[in-house]
Amino acid sequence: MPKILHTARYTGLPLEILQSACPEGFSVKTLDEAAHEQLVKEAVDADYFLVSGRLSIDKAVLDNAPHLKMIQRTGVGTEMLDTEEIKKRGIPVYVNAGVNARSVAEHTMTLLLACLKRLPQVNKQTHEGVWKKQQTGVTTRELYGKTVGLVGMGHIGRLVASMLQPFGAKVIYTDVIRQTDEVEKNLSLTYCSSFQELLPQVDILSFHCPLTKENTDMLNQKTLALMKQGAMVVNTARGKLINPGDLYDALKSGQVRAAALDTHYEEPLKEDYKLAELENVILTPHIGGLSYEAFESMMAGAMENIVAFEQGKLSEIEGKRLL
């Protein structure tokens, strides 16, 4: 029976969903402890890796996985994969492109609107019995008429752009690949040829691109200074796109009015995470793509790919192959 090794630790409902998605004729094992040593140990008899979490799939893991046929990501991020070591061994890698895009897009909109309406602060005040209707109301902002800059226009970026349309926001974007004229027209998009060109125009900046060596820390002291005074920042992509110390300084100075972050430079957060000290920062624990519906779809889609691979039906899933 082929063994699928899940490279993280699930308990409770996530584990139930994972186990229920396991196809007939396969076994699935999740880690007893989310530790690299545990991953190396369990890899010894694994036929497939189902990769989630942040444990590195590195040389030590691969050296101890002599039966490994294929690596399947639950999502699309690949920063935990040592791609050079994987390529050396000729092990194919498949991703779940677009499977949780709607969940991430909805979470982006939630964070964006929560920033504008100052929902955490207002909710806290009201729970504490503070009723300052006019004084509080005039500190909030509307989305209508604002310029939203999207960094990345893949599955998620396009969904966010479509969700912004009914609000009457102006949407501009930058990406390494420009969208077609038809897509730009249908989504009312304006293209910017660079990140630096986009920044001075935006009231709200939202990230939807993968992390690369080239764009790590792309929002930093220098680029933050290009933004309008009082702009907002939303990140549901990858935490290392933003330098957290520089963002902290910009929030303290008022250069940035508010930020909402679902992804963070280091995960899980450390106790001394300075951004957590600020009232004008909304933090969520990288849950944008993990709605119940998206999680079920991620597990089902990943298992379908593994079954297709095992049955030799490569052509049916070739479009999802990364390496």
The CATH number of residue 81's host domain is: 3.40.50.720
Segment 76-85 mean pLDDT: 92
Question: Is the Cβ–Cβ distance between 55 and 30 less than 8 Å?
Answer: no
Q: What is the pLDDT of residue 317?
A: 66
64 has a pLDDT exceeding 80: yes
In order of 85, 108, 109, 275, the CA distances from 233 in angstroms are: 36, 11, 12, 13
Q: List the domain range (segments joined by +) for residue 58.
A: 3-99+291-320
78 has a pLDDT exceeding 90: no
In order of 73, 294, 302, the CA distances from 298 in angstroms are: 9, 6, 6
316 band by pLDDT with thresholds 50, 70 and 90: low
Number of domain units in the chain = 2
Question: Is the Cβ–Cβ distance between 215 and 241 less than 8 Å?
Answer: yes
Q: Is 141 a catalytic residue?
A: no
318 band by pLDDT with thresholds 50, 70 and 90: low
* Domain co-membership, 81 together with 105: no
| Catalytic residue chosen out of the listed positions 16, 142, 266, 267 | 267
* Domain co-membership, 116 together with 94: no
* Domain co-membership, 208 together with 173: yes
Segment 276-290 mean pLDDT: 97
* Helices and strands (H, E) in the chain, number of each type: 14, 12
Q: Which tokens hold the place of 22?
A: 């396991």
Query: At residue 134, what is the residue type?
Result: Q
Segment 15-32 mean pLDDT: 97
Segment 270-279 mean pLDDT: 96
HSE, side-chain direction, 13 A CA sphere, residue 115: 30
Tell me the pLDDT tens digit for each residue of 100-123: 999 999 999 999 999 999 999 999
Q: What percentage of residues in the chain have a pLDDT greater than 90? A: 93
Q: Is 267 a catalytic residue?
A: yes
Q: What is the pLDDT of residue 97?
A: 85
* Domain co-membership, 135 together with 188: yes
Q: How far apart are CA 151 and CA 136, in angstroms?
A: 31
| Catalytic residue chosen out of the listed positions 36, 54, 178, 286 | 286
- Hey, what's the torsion of the CAs at 96, 287, 68, 90, to 10 degrees? 50
Q: Is 286 a catalytic residue?
A: yes
The chain-wide mean pLDDT, for the chain, equals 96
Closest C-alpha among 313, 294, 223, 268 to residue 14:
294
* Domain co-membership, 142 together with 106: yes
Tell me the pLDDT tens digit for each residue of 111-159: 999 999 999 999 999 999 999 999 999 999 999 999 999 999 999 999 9
* Domain co-membership, 110 together with 151: yes
* Domain co-membership, 27 together with 133: no
* Domain co-membership, 90 together with 120: no
* Domain co-membership, 32 together with 21: yes
* Domain co-membership, 153 together with 275: yes
Q: What percentage of residues in the chain have a pLDDT greater than 70? A: 98
Q: Find the range with the poorest average confidence among 88-92, 97-101, 159-163, 240-244.
A: 97-101
Burial class (CB in 10 A: 0-12, 13-18, 19+), 302: buried
* Domain co-membership, 264 together with 141: yes
Q: What is the pLDDT of residue 313?
A: 86
| Catalytic residue chosen out of the listed positions 118, 141, 238, 264 | 238
Q: What is the pLDDT of residue 319?
A: 61
Bond before 268 cis per omega within 30 degrees:
yes
* Domain co-membership, 92 together with 183: no
